[in-house]
Amino acid sequence: MKLLVVEDDRETAAYLVKGLGESGYTVDHSGDGRNGLFLATSGDYDAIILDRMLPGMDGLALLGALRAAEIRTPALILSALGSVDDRVKGLRAGGDDYLVKPFAFSELLARLEALMRRGAAAPATTKLRVADLELDLLTRSVKRGPKSIELLPREFRLLECLMRHAGHVVTRTMLLENVWDYHFDPQTNVIDVHMSRLRHKIDRNFEHALLHTVRGAGYCLRAPE
C-alpha cells in the first residue's frame, strides 16, 4: 500500500511518515503543494493525506486540481481548522474524509483503512456477514446463526457501520459521525455504553465474541480466528 503525505510541518510529517511506515505502508512525502500535486498526478498512490494550509498551493486547491484531472485517489484532509464549515469546504473540494489536528494516530489509521476500502468499491449488497452474524439491509433484521436478534434502530445502524468495516478498527469519533452525524465528542463516553449493549445482544451466550474493544482506539468487529 502506497501513501502520499503532503504536509509542510516537519515534525508532523516526520511523525506521519514514521508511524505509517511502521504500520506497513510505503510513504512518499512532499512539503509543499505544487510538488505534492506533481507527485499525486504522476505516482500511483492508494491514498493521499493532505494538509490544508501549505506553501505554494493550498490543500484545497491541490485537491481541486487533482479532481479536475480525473484523479480519484482517496484523499484524507488533515487540518487544524475544525469547524463544521471548514469540514464542509474540505469535503466539497473533493476530500473523502476530514480529520482535525491534533488527532490520535489510531484514528488516522482507522480512517485511512476505511477510506481505501471505500475506494475498492464494494459491490452493492443487501446482506452483510461476519462469521455467523448476518445483517439484512432490506428486512432490517439481524441473525446470529439460527437465532434472530432484536435491535433498536440506532443499534442496527451501529452494527451496520461496524460490519461494513469488519476486521478493522472503527473509532468512537467515526461512529458518532456515521451513526449520529455528530461532529463533536460528548463529555461522557456515551458510545461505550451503546457498545456494551450491542455486545450484550450479539455476543452473549455465543461461544466466540465478535465485537472487540481496541484499547486507545475504538472497536473492531471480526470473525474468530
Partner 1 sequence: MSGTDTLRQPLGLSGRDEAAAKARRWPAGRELWRGARRLLKTHALRLAVLYFAVFAASVFGVLLFVYWTSADFVERQTEATLDAEITGLAEQYAQRGLSGLIQIVAARSAGDRGDGMFYLVTTPSGTPIVGNIAGWPAGAKVKSGPVSFTVEVPVKGNVEIHPARGMLIVIPDNYRLLVGRDISDAATFRHRIKTTLLWSGLVALGAGLIGGSVMSRNLLRRVEQVNRTAERVVAGNLSDRVPLRGTRDEFDQLAANLNGMLDQIERLMTAMREVTDNVAHDLKTPLARLRARLELALLSPPNAAAPGEAIRAAIDEADRLLATFNALLSITEAESGASRNRAEPLDLGELARAAAELYEPVAEENGFALYVRSTPGVMIRGDRHLLSQAVANLLDNALKYGGGSDRPSEVVLAVTQHDDRATLEISDRGPGIPAADRDSVFDRFVRLEPSRSTPGNGLGLSLVRAVARLHDGTVALADNGPGLTVHLEFPALAG
The β-bridge relationship of strands 211-214 and 97-100 is unpaired
Helix (H, G, I), strand (E, B) or coil at 211: strand
For partner 1, the binding residues in 20-79 under the rule CB under 8 A are none
Number of residues interacting with partner 1: please give it, by CB under 8 A: 22
Which CB atom, from 200 or from 208, has the smaller least distance to partner 1? 200
The answer to whether 222 contacts partner 1 (rule: CB under 8 A) is no
The answer to whether 82 contacts partner 1 (rule: CB under 8 A) is yes
The residue range among 89-97, 115-123, 166-174, 183-191 that interacts with partner 1, by the rule CB under 8 A, is 183-191
Residue of 118, 183, 199, 212 interacting with partner 1 (CB under 8 A):
183
Cα distance between residue 36 and residue 23, in whole Å: 22
Site string for partner 1, 188-207 (x = CB under 8 A): x-x--xx-xx----------
Residue of 14, 53, 182, 213 interacting with partner 1 (CB under 8 A):
182
The answer to whether 126 contacts partner 1 (rule: CB under 8 A) is no
- How far does the chain reach from its first CA to its final CA, in angstroms? 24
Burial class (CB in 10 A: 0-12, 13-18, 19+), 8: middle
Which CB atom, from 38 or from 182, has the smaller least distance to partner 1? 182
Which CB atom, from 136 or from 185, has the smaller least distance to partner 1? 185
Are 7 and 29 in contact by the 8 Å Cβ rule? The answer is yes
Place of cell 452494527: 159
In this structure, what DSSP letter does residue 20 have?
H
Burial class (CB in 10 A: 0-12, 13-18, 19+), 99: buried
The answer to whether 91 contacts partner 1 (rule: CB under 8 A) is no
Which stretches of the chain bind partner 1, using CB under 8 A?
82-85, 88, 102, 104, 154, 180, 182-188, 190, 193-194, 196-197, 216
